Structure 1
Amino acid sequence: MPVEKARPTRLSGRVSAGPSHLLRTEVLNPQFDAEVHNLLPHYVAIEKALVTEYVRMGILAEGSAREIDTLLDSVDRDSMTERSAASMSDMAFTLERQVEDGLSEPVPAWHVDRSRNDYQACAQLLFGRSRLLEAAATLLEFGRAAHRLAGCHTEHPMPGYTHLQAAQIISPGFYLAALSEQAQHASRRLLFTYDSIDACPLGAGAMSGQTLPWDRQRLARSLGFQRVQPLALTSVAYRGWTVEITGEFEILGVQLSRFVTDLMAWGSSAYGFLDLPDELSGISSAMPQKKNFPILERIRGRLAHLSSTHLDTVLGQRNTAFSNSVEVSKEAGTELPRAFDAFESALRLFTVVLDNARFDVDRMARACEKEFLGGFALANRLTLDEGVPWRLAQVIAGRYIVMAMDAGLEPAQADPGLLTTAAAESGRRLTDPNALLRGVFEVAGALGSMNSAGSTHPQAVGEVLADQERELERLAREWGRRKAQSQGGGNEVVQFGHEGE
């Protein structure tokens, strides 16, 4: 297919024709649209910081600098889009042309000693940092929602499952405390990630530095960075921060999908432990008896996007040279906005589920009463009170449960005779089978029977939740500091990695 020629451009002496229609349609225009939507404010902020540096170095007169600054304030999406065709559909060229077109007289030194490489790297990093702050706020709100719901259900027994089989009695509060902890764990990791990437790349030029004595520390402070990226090559070549962020999103997404899977099961008609209001529910078009919870399916589906966007980011950089390239700086970051959108959307949906979820405490208690969930406690008593070796105690307790089920007994209907028989089959004689069975299969006291720290005992769960509340407050303060620093002009330097795990 022949390549049609576009009208000449004066942006370079090396290439005499502008991009072809196909290149504009397939690559440049979509790229420009994405950048003008996501990066324009950051490009403008960078230009303003650089103008200030030009004045400091004596390259620009203050009058020219003020005029450029005023013209930068007038830049918007519409004006940029109008000029993009004449500037190779490139953000940097278009912004430069818009300002130059508005100058009262030419300013030859404006944009001297400049490269698009560190310029683009900085704008992209500013975008990533800004979106990460928003994502962290959404994550903290989600963690608070899990924490609030957990605090409401520390004393309500429900079956806990292992291998999809009823195993021991827990509480929704105990379970949701684990969800709250996952949110805090992810927040700590993202805080470390934020600190590790918060280094300004400006001053790197194309790859090896710049000729003029740019004050890189001053540029970093003006744009709200904690520090300067020390090596010029890393400044323009490294886009690993996109891999780090999407990787953290994927890690949390995997874990949250497991919690959603449990909620989906508990909300099913087979369990009936969980209900949502009609406003968060769906219907069947053919089966009027059904009340569906497609919001949970949406959450789990959106969490899957976090894995796909991470993989796209990884493969876009893999096997590329460690220098600036369009493949890495543009193509490999295509899915980053979608990763942020999917992450925040999934968390917002999950938060509204937690804020509106209702547990059927009576049904959960009845489910516990139907299962022999005290088998572990019975084995403990056989060992501690009767001196039965632990593994043999497991055999006797299991045998008693089988015999009780065969006899049609409910778990709370203790039968000392059956326990005596079960022990005798294993060659053991029990001194007090009544005491061994007393209350061991009763639901009411099950939560309080656990005495170790971190257990499902309501007091132990309460202690964990109290610690989590303090941690949520600390994380909120730390993220607040980062947000304030990111707004520019701050002098406080956060020590790298001190909050990480």
Structure 2
Amino acid sequence: MWGGRFGAGPGDIMREINASIPFDKRLWQEDIAGSKAHAQMLAAQGIISSDDETAIQQGLSAIHAEYEADGVPEDWTLEDIHMVTETRLRALVGEPAARLHTARSRNDQVATDFRLWVRVAIGRIDSGLKAFQSALVARADEHADSIMPGFTHLQVAQPVTLGHHLMAYYEMAKRDRSRFADCAHRLNQSPLGAAALAGTSFPIDRAATAQALGFDGPMGNSLDAVSDRDFALEFLTCATQTALHLSRLAEEMILWASQPFGFILLPDAWSTGSSIMPQKRNPDAAELVRGHAGRIMGSMTSLMVTMKGLPLAYSKDMQDDKPPVFEAYDLLSLSIAAMTGMVGNVTFQTARMREVAASGFSTATDLADWLVREHGLAFRDAHHVTGSVVKACEERGITLDAITSNDLAAIYPQLQESDLPDLSVEGSVASRTSAGGTAPVRVREEIAFAKKELEA
């Protein structure tokens, strides 16, 4: 490749640092697809002969079959997937292969391959997230009435339903899918034909190659086409946000599986044991999902730092754009699959959840709301009265729903005779009927809407 300009080949260390074939071989399908589209366009424009195109297309199809059967050979002297494929093509079809690189550069070639790969990756992640949502909806439907504690500061705050809690993660995944969809829309412009950086003097048809590869059209500026990695950064940003959501659920499952909580039982398929303590059942799958979020975030940071100071157009630093994207995709795909499996198979200990939900005077806000609604107190005054009631309950060792109207009148004499509200956890959740609230009737509405979204 360098014979015309250099008298000798690269040294061993230069060859090793320069070679990207160990990781960019992953782009082989996209590289062959891009070359096929480019050859077809060159022939249509009269830049190469139809005989040359036929030979190239047949050779590329043969290489596709070889790679599919045996994998991509790693020849570090050929540096990357582009030269490995081109060299193999020349061995198969001879001189026509040398004409394939007319009017293109490895700069626009790799930018095209990478966009194609990320586009496919987004589709696969979206399918995984949809399956995750389906698992959440199925379990939420099963537990639309099951009561659990809602927490703030990891303290029991107000009772909610388990279905409501699970549907919160459905909404997060919904936003994650929308972000990936936006990323897919923005990346769907073709760099092919930008050549090294300035375009080409050959009469190419960039719209034709864009259409053949499923792009919406060609990128508008050749410098931007070869130097842009916004699509990769946006992919990593979307992946990081998704991983953070999965990590939050994983953290909850880790807590819930512990003996102090006792909210869930993870099946054997999603647990491991201890090498020394026979009784242990460790939530390792959830812990690894939590750990993967940090690595995915690191991938995003890695590429951002790589790109932050690069002048236009292409710099060799950009060869390091693919490993963080590949790693993030692998980790995120595995994390989504793991969380989908755990959600689908976990056993919820609903009796224990309800027990904890009823602790900590979790329906105190219901009493304050009742004082406002039925007796016209300002909320801050109602808050003060309710706090005094809670203090009295603590001193007497009784629960909030055990107080009587006389107890309340002793604290707030204006209420001599009054029918007290339902301060049970069931009454509390049933009363939360505002849009998006935890009342089972609202949860079932949300679930019904989610099922329609997933079917659509």
Give the TM-score normalised by structure 2: 0.94
SS at match of 1:158: strand
Which one has a larger percent helix, Structure 1 or Structure 2?
Answer: 2
Q: CA deviation at 1:332?
A: 2.9
SS at match of 2:401: coil
Pick from 187, 199, 212: which aligns with 1:197? 187
- Corresponding letter in the other structure for 2:175: H
- In the alignment, structure 1 segments of 5+ residues that lack a partner are 1-9, 475-501
Task: Indicate conservation of the 8 Å contact 2:90/2:98, yes or no.
Answer: no
Q: CA deviation at 1:156?
A: 0.8
Pick from 231, 234, 257: which aligns with 1:244? 234
**2 CA distance for matches of 1:42 and 1:172?**
44
Using the TM superposition, name which of 384-393 and 397-406 deviates more.
384-393
Q: CA deviation at 1:109?
A: 4.2
**1 CA distance for matches of 2:250 and 2:81?**
42
- Corresponding letter in the other structure for 2:168: A
Q: CA deviation at 1:24?
A: 2.0
Q: CA deviation at 1:99?
A: 2.0
Match of 1:466 in 2: 448
**2 CA distance for matches of 1:133 and 1:406?**
58
- In the alignment, structure 2 segments of 5+ residues that lack a partner are none
SS at match of 1:472: helix
Match of 1:133 in 2: 123
Q: CA deviation at 1:134?
A: 1.1
SS at match of 2:125: helix
Q: 1:415 to 1:209 in 2, by over 3 A?
A: same
Task: Indicate conservation of the 8 Å contact 1:404/1:418, yes or no.
Answer: no
Match of 1:4 in 2: none
Q: Does 1:21 align with 2:9?
A: no
Give the 5 Å matches for 1:151-230. 151-230=141-220
Task: Indicate conservation of the 8 Å contact 1:44/1:72, yes or no.
Answer: yes
Q: 1:332 to 1:89 in 2, by over 3 A?
A: closer
SS at match of 2:156: strand
Identity of aligned residues (%): 27
Task: Indicate conservation of the 8 Å contact 2:53/2:96, yes or no.
Answer: no
Task: Indicate conservation of the 8 Å contact 1:386/1:431, yes or no.
Answer: no
Q: Deviations over 1:218-269 (max 9, x none)?
A: 1011111122212111110101111100011112222332222222222211
Match of 2:43 in 1: 55
Task: Indicate conservation of the 8 Å contact 1:315/1:332, yes or no.
Answer: no
Match of 1:432 in 2: 417
Using the TM superposition, name which of 98-107 and 412-421 deviates more.
98-107
**2 CA distance for matches of 1:270 and 1:311?**
37
SS at match of 1:160: strand
Using the TM superposition, name which of 380-389 and 43-52 deviates more.
380-389
**2 CA distance for matches of 1:367 and 1:390?**
27
Task: Indicate conservation of the 8 Å contact 2:246/2:335, yes or no.
Answer: no
**2 CA distance for matches of 1:174 and 1:108?**
62
**2 CA distance for matches of 1:276 and 1:49?**
50
Task: Indicate conservation of the 8 Å contact 1:157/1:443, yes or no.
Answer: yes
Give the 5 Å matches for 1:409-428. 409-424=398-413
Pick from 419, 439, 442: which aligns with 1:457? 439
Q: Does 1:381 align with 2:363?
A: no
**2 CA distance for matches of 1:318 and 1:190?**
23
Task: Indicate conservation of the 8 Å contact 1:154/1:171, yes or no.
Answer: yes
Q: Does 1:353 align with 2:342?
A: yes
Match of 1:484 in 2: none
**1 CA distance for matches of 2:110 and 2:376?**
73
SS at match of 2:232: helix
Match of 1:408 in 2: 397
**2 CA distance for matches of 1:385 and 1:127?**
61
Task: Indicate conservation of the 8 Å contact 2:103/2:193, yes or no.
Answer: no
**1 CA distance for matches of 2:382 and 2:197?**
70
Q: 1:287 to 1:235 in 2, by over 3 A?
A: same
Task: Indicate conservation of the 8 Å contact 2:368/2:379, yes or no.
Answer: yes
**2 CA distance for matches of 1:111 and 1:79?**
23
Q: CA deviation at 1:60?
A: 2.4
Q: Deviations over 1:255-286 (max 9, x none)?
A: 33222222222221111111111222222334
**1 CA distance for matches of 2:147 and 2:399?**
18
**2 CA distance for matches of 1:111 and 1:265?**
57
Using the TM superposition, name which of 121-130 and 413-422 deviates more.
413-422
Give the TM-score normalised by structure 1: 0.86
Q: 1:115 to 1:388 in 2, by over 3 A?
A: closer
